[in-house]
Amino acid sequence: NRTYVVTGSASGIGETTARLLRKRGARVIGIDLRDADVEADLSTAEGRQSAAAAAIELAGGTVDAVIACAGISAPIAKTLSVNYFGVVELLEALRPALVRSSAPRAAVVSSMASLQQSPPELVEAALSGDEAATLAIAEQLTAQGPREAYQVYPASKRALSRWVRRRSISPEWAGAGIPLNAVAPGTVLTPMTEQLLATEEGRAMVDAAVPMPLNSHQPPESIANLLIWLTGVENTHLAGQVIYDDGGADATLRGDDI
Ligand code: NAD
């Protein structure tokens, strides 16, 4: 039986992924703020390190796959700490336990929002690894007003997609035999989007930003099943990809520009 570490396991995509994996007989160690095997705050460096240590201990030293779903969409600087640093630092801290597996895999949840406008200097600050500098830029941005503050979430996901792109082909990941990929959803029906989609106004706003010609808003299973395939033994060569599983939103917005 494979052992999976799933972050954001208490809600939405992470909860669905953990449930489907357990149904298939896998062992799942969930990480979340609450209602999880490992309760930790991934917005802090200490939270990431203690979460990784606790998960590795529960796993008995070897982790077969990591699926990072935890994230927030608030237009605040902290979103970069959870969505970017909370993912990449946790993955790097779990890597030594992945290397011990005979078929290690990792996948993260980015977003089609990574394609939306955000300040390049904020994205590159995150990729430089300097969390304090990144938060300082994000705080300047959020102070400018709601339109600018909205760009924090796209920036967090663009940085994450780019990190996967760069890091997946490094000696530490591809070189160690670990496929590392990202899934970029469109609008998923989870607690994250519930309030926004509850009003006609909110739905119109979301649908203008995220056009989904194929089947419209998606259930969390549509993402969970892809995450499970990416982190299963069948995936031997898919690496460094950001897979837009988004009802055609990326194809609509980017068209030929790939
Ligand atoms: P959700 O709110 O249902 O679940 C997110 C989970 O992450 C929650 O259980 C929450 O407690 C946990 N979490 C938040 N901050 C944390 C922290 N500091 N430490 C530990 N855990 C923390 O949301 P969801 O829709 O399932 O989102 C999952 C992922 O999918 C996120 O990364 C989100 O950005 C991404 N995503 C969602 C959508 C969507 O439409 N719902 C679209 C694209 C991408």
**pLDDT single digits (tens) 81-121:** 999 999 999 999 999 999 999 999 999 999 999 999 999 99
Q: What pLDDT does 45 receive? A: 98
Q: What angle do CA 231, 175, 88 make, to 5 degrees?
A: 60
Give catalytic status of residue 153 as yes or no.
Answer: yes
What is the torsion angle, in degrees rounded to the nearest 10, for the CA atoms of residue 221, residue 9, residue 211 and residue 198? 100
Instruction: Evaluate if residue 73 carries a pLDDT over 90.
Output: yes
Please compute the mean of the pLDDT values over residues 5-34 and round it to a whole number: 98
Q: What pLDDT does 258 receive? A: 84
pTM for this one?
A: 0.98
Q: What is the best residue among 69, 205, 207 to mutate for testing ligand 1's pocket, by most ligand atoms within 8 Å of CB?
A: 69
Token pair, residue 211, equals 């056009």
Q: What pLDDT does 12 receive? A: 98
> Are 123 and 159 spatial neighbours (Cβ–Cβ below 8 Å)?
yes
> Are 90 and 52 spatial neighbours (Cβ–Cβ below 8 Å)?
yes
Tell me, using a 6 A CB cutoff, whether residue 210 lines ligand 1: no
**pLDDT single digits (tens) 212-241:** 999 999 999 999 999 999 999 999 999 999
Task: Give all domains of the chain, ordered by start, each with its CATH number.
Answer: 3-193+219-246 (3.40.50.720)
**pLDDT single digits (tens) 14-26:** 999 999 999 999 9
**pLDDT single digits (tens) 186-200:** 999 999 999 999 999
List the one residue out of 22, 109, 32, 99 whose CA is nearest residue 67. 109
Percent of the chain whose predicted confidence (pLDDT) is above 90: 99
Q: What pLDDT does 114 receive? A: 96
List alpha helices for 101-151, DSSP H: 120-128, 131-143, 146-149
d(CA 51, CA 173): 21
Please compute the mean of the pLDDT values over residues 197-218 and round it to a whole number: 96
Tell me, using a 6 A CB cutoff, whether residue 12 lines ligand 1: yes
Instruction: Evaluate if residue 154 carries a pLDDT over 90.
Output: yes
Local confidence band at 142 (pLDDT 50, 70, 90 cut-offs): very high
Token pair, residue 38, equals 């490992």
* Helix (H/G/I), strand (E/B), else coil: 160: helix
Q: Is the ipTM of this complex over 0.95?
A: yes
Q: What pLDDT does 226 receive? A: 98
Q: Whose CA is nearest to atom 34 of ligand 1?
A: 71
Catalytic residue among 4, 84, 150, 153: 153
